[in-house]
Amino acid sequence: MTEKIGVLGKKSPQRTGVERVVNAPLPTVYGNFQAVGYLDHDRGDEQVALVYGDIGSDDVLTRLHSECLTGDAFGSQHCECGDQLASALRAVVAEGSGIVVYLRGHEGRGIGLLAKLRAMALQAEGLDTVEANLALGLPVDARDYGVAAGILQDLGVNSVRLMSNNPRKREALLRHGIQVAEQVPLLIPPCENNITYLRTKRERLDHHLPHLDAVAHLS
């Protein structure tokens, strides 16, 4: 734990890491979850884990979902995020237990909402999602999953079955001490508006998206 100098030169402790703040029932259209709220003291973000059923500690079906306002709330077809979130929530209910960690501060792969919109404008002009971020002088992917690992550890989780097509999420959890027993595909049928975006994720970001081979007719 780090310290900072307070009033009159006295040292006062500065909290670090993730802290559980609240646990509240959250009935949804998918099922009845527990919403466990956390504060990330390192970044200042408020985070939430939606927990369904008796999760246990090993091989817990888990989704780490990066915040995406346009997809999650507005139903954007530029990405598949909203459908992935809904599919993950349905999956843990069907499983009987599981966790969806909703990671705030991850908008636009960590560059923020306005920067993401700027990148989307560049994509409309012909750049792909990687080129657009780089053209803005921003990282291709600035997300950090340390807080997600901290949340899982607080929930008593040792290993997960990770719902993700992104190998970097698996690698990040392993670095932070969470074992990944299985990587479970979360494949959403593409549409004309997101096929280029999804192909770029497969070809340039190493996402495992084998279902794209069956939709070569989409431009």
Catalytic status, residue 175? no
Taking the C-alpha atoms of residue 140 and residue 15, their distance in angstroms, rounded to an integer, is: 30
Q: In 3-state terms, what secondary structure has residue 16?
A: coil
Q: How many CB atoms lie within 10 A of CB 10?
A: 7
Exactly one of 83, 141, 161, 170 is catalytic; which is it?
A: 141
Strand 159-163, strand 60-66: pairing: parallel
Q: Is 204 a catalytic residue?
A: no
Contact 25/32 with Cβ under 8 angstroms?
A: yes
Q: Active-site residue among 63, 118, 143, 170?
A: 143
Exposed e or buried b per residue across 24-60, where buried means at least 16 C-beta atoms within 10 angstroms of its C-beta: eeeeeebbebeebebbbbbeebebbbbbbbebeeeeb
Q: 3-class DSSP state for residue 154?
A: helix
- Contacts of 21 by beta carbon, 8 Å cutoff, 6+ apart: 37, 38, 39
**Which residues are known to be catalytic?**
141, 143
